[in-house]
Structure 1
Amino acid sequence: MTAFPVNEISLGIESFGPDDAPLVLLAGGTTMLSWPDALCERLAAAGRRVVRYDLRDSGESTTADPESPSYTLRDLAADAAALAGALGGGPAHLAGIGVGGMVAQVAALDHPGAFSALTLVGTRAVAPGPVDDDLPDHDPATMGRLFARPMPDWADREAVAEFAATGAEILGNDPAAARTTAARIWDRTPGTAPAVQLANQLGIVFARLDCTPRWRARLPGIGVPTLVVHGRRDRFFPVGNGEAIAREIPGARLLVLDEAATTIPAAAVGEVAEAMLTLG
């Protein structure tokens, strides 16, 4: 892993595969560890240069003030385009997961020349806040259970990992995998201040961003091959959100993972990698 300078900040990146291979750029949601190691390795083994990166205020990227971010969603989209250009090799296949999927949509719209293909995983076409009437919102019972839990002691690595595991169980993800990933994120988090930990573990900083203007109406303008991946058991962004994106981007392919929730489970890595590789 290393820090890479773009747009007067640094982004934490990790690379897999040969530097001269076609680039697949994976935007974190919010940290790069949202993308499974096995998926990165599978894509690299198929002849791709895979670079996963942390969004601002997470992981090894520049941390400023997660409680009051001075940047916008469009700035995060510009980061993706600048990173793709700086890494070289021509237009990149851009992939985003969760909130990183929102970044990827705006990046493809605002910087179309930077990207040759788009993969959107477990995301939706509207920013945090009230959802459009035709889109399913977060499952209320699930949200109630998630936010009824007391916050952990952020200075206690094991407590944070256990907090992530119980959250994964509520969301329908693998608790053991979530525990391992949370511990890795904790190890990379610059400090134990609650705001910084929330930005890294839960992505709360994203809810404080300026996400205007709306971009959903612009989705028909995306002109690159697009794959939309969504878990059928996703209670955070229910599958209707992915279905809507796939309808609204011309020619997009929808891949619904019947046994998945908000993350890419180990059993689905091969299917997702194969689908991504068909885009180029």
Structure 2
Amino acid sequence: MLVNGVELCVETFGDSSDPAVLLIHGACASMLWWETELCASLAARGRFVIRYDNRDTGLSVSYPPGRPGYVLSDMVLDAVGILDALGVARAHVVGRSMSGAIALALGVEHADRVASLTFVATTTGDPDLPPMTEAFLEASSEEAPSDVEKIVSVLRAYAGPSPYFDEEHVRQLAVQDVARTVNVDSAMSNHFCISFDAPRAGGFGDVVAPTLVVHGSLDPVFPLEHGEALRDAVPGASLLVLDSVGHDLPRPVWPRFVDALVEHSA
């Protein structure tokens, strides 16, 4: 799909007449990490689910490693463009990890397109909040023999001490992801090189959309205090803590997540 001047890979689930849920994944992750079964579960509950490959992931436009030809505000306009292309006036926007910044910019700068916001495993960026855990930093820096094993290693680190990490499931998805990614080196690096230039006017305190914060109790990337701070920063926001979950969204908590998102987007 040609959106905002670039090619983006977009997939939908469910009836387009149902309330739309736009799923935006975080750094380096294609839409596959919003698993098909999870999207189908949401669609079965009466939601029109939209997932897509951000720039430099999956089948979407790719740039040379270390030289992304875009900034965060471009990714925000990508999301708006997808809604335009699908004829969606307003969507329930879900931003995960890094893409919490995209969701925030949508909520502040494109409030008329946002029916609600959900922030999953993300942060306000307050420098006084707890840093990434030492265990995560050590695990995420380990060498791996292949792109697939590097993804598995990183996601194992993201899960932290959670008992829910499913290595076989993650490896299967990683194999699929690597096979369909235009440039794996770009996918693994370029989102960390972009300028976070949005929102340009406003912040969490200016969000008017109903807001849900979803955070794992064992998140090693953004410890739970980040989710609590985000809840406190957005007027009227609520917090769903996923017990024994790290910086991921494992299958055992899908029913609880789907229930919460369906209720939030009612």
User: Does TM, scored on the shorter chain, surpass 0.5?
Assistant: yes
- Give ranges in structure 2 of 5+ residues lacking alignment: none
The aligned runs of 1:183-222 (5 Å cut-off) are 183-190=175-182, 196-200=183-187, 202=188, 204-212=189-197, 218-222=203-207
Shift in Å, 1:37: 2.1
C-alpha contact 1:17 1:49 (8 A) present in aligned 2: yes
Show the counterpart of 2:152: 165
**Structure 2 Cα separation of the partners of residues 216 and 178 of structure 1:** 38
C-alpha contact 2:72 2:198 (8 A) present in aligned 1: no
**Structure 1 Cα separation of the partners of residues 157 and 121 of structure 2:** 16
C-alpha contact 1:226 1:249 (8 A) present in aligned 2: yes
Q: Are the structure 2 counterparts of residues 97 and 146 from structure 1 closer, same or farther at C-alpha, using a change threshold of 3 Å?
A: same
The aligned runs of 1:1-280 (5 Å cut-off) are 4-29=1-26, 30-126=29-125, 132-147=126-141, 149-154=142-147, 160=148, 162-171=149-158, 172=160, 173-190=165-182, 196-200=183-187, 202=188, 204-212=189-197, 218-280=203-265
Q: Which moved more, 1:29-38 or 1:228-237?
A: 29-38
C-alpha contact 1:165 1:176 (8 A) present in aligned 2: no
Shift in Å, 1:19: 2.1
Shift in Å, 1:104: 1.3
Quote the RMSD (CA, aligned, Å): 1.9
Q: 2:231 is matched by which residue type in structure 1?
A: A
**Structure 2 Cα separation of the partners of residues 234 and 209 of structure 1:** 24
Q: 1:168 is matched by which residue type in structure 2?
A: L
Shift in Å, 1:97: 1.2
- SS where residue 278 of structure 1 aligns? helix
**Structure 2 Cα separation of the partners of residues 214 and 22 of structure 1:** 25
**Structure 1 Cα separation of the partners of residues 167 and 241 of structure 2:** 21
**Structure 2 Cα separation of the partners of residues 176 and 219 of structure 1:** 37
**Structure 2 Cα separation of the partners of residues 119 and 215 of structure 1:** 20
- Give ranges in structure 1 of 5+ residues lacking alignment: 127-131, 155-159, 191-195
TM-score, length basis structure 1: 0.86
Shift in Å, 1:215: 7.0
**Structure 2 Cα separation of the partners of residues 37 and 165 of structure 1:** 19
Percent identical among aligned pairs is 33
Shift in Å, 1:151: 4.1
Q: Are the structure 2 counterparts of residues 258 and 100 from structure 1 closer, same or farther at C-alpha, using a change threshold of 3 Å?
A: same
Shift in Å, 1:213: 5.5
Q: How many residues align?
A: 258
Q: 1:35 is matched by which residue type in structure 2?
A: W
C-alpha contact 2:92 2:117 (8 A) present in aligned 1: yes
Shift in Å, 1:246: 0.9
- SS where residue 137 of structure 1 aligns? coil
**Structure 2 Cα separation of the partners of residues 164 and 115 of structure 1:** 32
**Structure 1 Cα separation of the partners of residues 115 and 215 of structure 2:** 21
TM-score, length basis structure 2: 0.90
Q: Are the structure 2 counterparts of residues 199 and 273 from structure 1 closer, same or farther at C-alpha, using a change threshold of 3 Å?
A: farther
**Structure 1 Cα separation of the partners of residues 157 and 30 of structure 2:** 21
Q: 2:167 is matched by which residue type in structure 1?
A: P
**Structure 2 Cα separation of the partners of residues 214 and 15 of structure 1:** 27
C-alpha contact 1:31 1:55 (8 A) present in aligned 2: yes
C-alpha contact 1:94 1:119 (8 A) present in aligned 2: yes
Q: 1:169 is matched by which residue type in structure 2?
A: R
